[in-house]
Amino acid sequence: MDTRPFRSVLYIPGSKERALHKATTLPTDAIIFDLEDAVAIDEKPRARRLLADTLQDLDYGPRVQLVRINALNTEWGADDLDVISAARPEAILLPKVDSAAHIEDLARRLDARPETADTRIWAMMESPLGVLNALDIASAPRMAGFIMGTNDLAKDMGLRYRADRMPLFTSLQMGLLAAKARGLVAVDGVYNAFRDGAGLRAECEQGRDMGFDGKTLIHPSQLEIANTIFAPSSDEIDTARRQIDAYNAAVARGEGVAVLDGKIVENLHIVTAKQILAKADALAS
């Protein structure tokens, strides 16, 4: 699994030059350079050219870079891949993935080009069939992560948006289970009301509790909330340190279980505690 942080994953329309520049200074862990739904049909050829040039010219530092091309069964997908390949993309995010065959097709095309020898694949989990095939998709070649596409899921399932996201829960969990089973990164869907900080905060808390690694975002104003909520809190860091101390003391006494704050601490809790501290250290540096 990729151990870099994915707390915040910001979509940027590939057609918006100013936003593409702005992102070189934004505190986002990862960027999705979008050629799909954020780009109008008439703009698609210009956007893919602009994006290919931008990726070669600008320095996005440590931010993970994903390029969302159009699906390969659309009139734009193959051209997107041709033009973007020249920029040696770190990862291609494929939308509307229904089955592992979609990933295998993309992997074959990447295999055929020396520039994309190391390019990883991410999949949008955003159709009922895709969610039902999540484990096969997660097991396909070059796979590195899932992004939940909650808008397309809502459309295809005919569900209504609710603040508790109950109608989306099965899909979110199926995506998460498949990603975690195969050691992939799992990133939650977008919160459309980008000026509603309280709503975003609640949805980030929910996604964090479920086990998502981060949240996809559509506006820079959403970054701070996601970065805060998907980072280990000071309470979590303190508890992790004390768990490790308590467990080490128990082991030194010849015991396999410690008790801290009235709760048991076993070796599996130490795995989680160490992951929390490693993530905190990575973010601090």
Annotated binding-site members for Mg(2+): 126, 152
Our finding on whether 126 is near Mg ion (CB under 5 A) is: yes
Our finding on whether 146 is near ligand LIB3CWND (CB under 6 A) is: no
Separation CA 157–CA 170 (nearest Å):
12
Our finding on whether 160 is near ligand LIB3CWND (CB under 6 A) is: no
* CB distance 168 to 188 below 8 Å: no
Separation CA 128–CA 118 (nearest Å):
30
Residue 218 touches which member of Mg ion, ligand LIB3CWND, none, C-beta under 5-8 Å by kind: ligand LIB3CWND
Our finding on whether 196 is near ligand LIB3CWND (CB under 6 A) is: no
Pair of tokens at residue 26: 């934004």
DSSP 165-221: -GGGHHHHHHHHHHHHHTT-EEEE---S-TT-HHHHHHHHHHHHHHT-SEEEESSGG
Q: Strands (DSSP E) along 26-142, which ranges?
A: 30-34, 64-68, 91-94, 120-125
Our finding on whether 9 is near ligand LIB3CWND (CB under 6 A) is: no
Sign of CA dihedral 189, 192, 195, 196: negative
Question: In the range 216-235, which residues lie near ligand LIB3CWND by CB under 6 A?
Answer: 218-220
Taking the complex as a whole, the smallest distance from the CB of residue 250 to ligand LIB3CWND amounts, in Å, to 46
Question: In the range 13-52, which residues lie near ligand LIB3CWND by CB under 6 A?
Answer: 13, 18-19, 22-23, 34, 37-38
Number of residues that bind ligand LIB3CWND (CB under 6 A): 23
> Given candidates 29, 80, 98, 152, which one binds Mg ion under the rule CB under 5 A?
152
**SS (HEC) of 178-192:** HHHHCCCEEEECCCC
Residue 98 touches which member of Mg ion, ligand LIB3CWND, none, C-beta under 5-8 Å by kind: none
Lay out the site mask for ligand LIB3CWND across 76-95 (x = CB under 6 A, - = otherwise).
--------------------
Task: For residue 3, give Cα distances in angstroms to 6, 140, 145, 183, 277.
Answer: 9, 20, 12, 10, 13
Our finding on whether 149 is near Mg ion (CB under 5 A) is: yes
Taking the complex as a whole, the smallest distance from the CB of residue 141 to ligand LIB3CWND amounts, in Å, to 23
Our finding on whether 10 is near ligand LIB3CWND (CB under 6 A) is: yes
Residue type, 154: A
Separation CA 271–CA 251 (nearest Å):
15
Separation CA 150–CA 260 (nearest Å):
39
Question: Which residues here bind ligand LIB3CWND, judged by CB under 6 A?
Answer: 10-13, 18-19, 22-23, 34, 37-38, 124, 126, 149-152, 189-190, 194, 218-220
